């Protein structure tokens, strides 16, 4: 209901303000040199992350080699954080380019990282077309944030 009734800004969610004071409310976990990581506000599963370039580009072709290397490196690092914090049995890692390919926000390229566990699809998803997330988003954020802060220190 917060999403349905809340104020919708016209800006790109992948272009956060330069200041870090609202990172928790934006679910922004990490700001790297060329890449950022945020939690998906409407996750498929607990720990669903979005990894994206700092620069606003619609596809991989728009990235420099340095930016693309940093982006894939951040995907790898984020998978490591999720393994350590959540112990998933697998992952879905995806990139949707273009609306017909499933991109909800096609103006800013981004990877989806979805931790998976055996049996994580239940009857609510299959029959009711509803997702049940067992942990509050901010609780997951508070679990993951220190691990991403550790990445910045390395």
- Active-site residues, by number, are 110
Q: How far, CA to CA in Å, does 4 sit from each of 1, 7, 14, 26, 61?
A: 5, 9, 20, 17, 34
Strand arrangement, sheet containing 49-53: 28-31, 35-39, 49-53, 111-116, 90-95
Cα–Cα–Cα angle for 112, 114, 120, nearest 5°? 150
CA end-to-end span of the chain, whole Å? 39
User: Residue 37 — φ and ψ, nearest 5°?
Assistant: -130, 130
């Amino acid at each position: 209901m917060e999403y349905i009734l809340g104020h919708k800004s016209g800006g790109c969610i992948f272009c956060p303000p330069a200041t870090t004071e609202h990172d928790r409310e934006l679910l922004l976990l990490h700001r790297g040199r060329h890449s950022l990581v945020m939690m998906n506000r409407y996750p498929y599963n607990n720990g669903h992350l979005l990894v994206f370039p700092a620069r606003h580009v619609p596809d991989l072709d728009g990235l420099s080699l340095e930016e693309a290397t940093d982006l894939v490196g951040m995907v790898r690092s984020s998978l490591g954080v999720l393994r350590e914090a959540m112990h998933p049995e697998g992952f879905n890692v995806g990139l949707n380019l273009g609306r017909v390919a499933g991109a909800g926000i096609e103006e800013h390229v981004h990877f989806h990282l979805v931790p998976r566990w055996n049996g994580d699809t239940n009857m609510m998803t299959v029959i009711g077309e509803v997702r049940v997330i067992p942990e509050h988003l901010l609780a997951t954020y508070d679990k993951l944030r220190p691990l991403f802060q550790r990445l910045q220190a390395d």
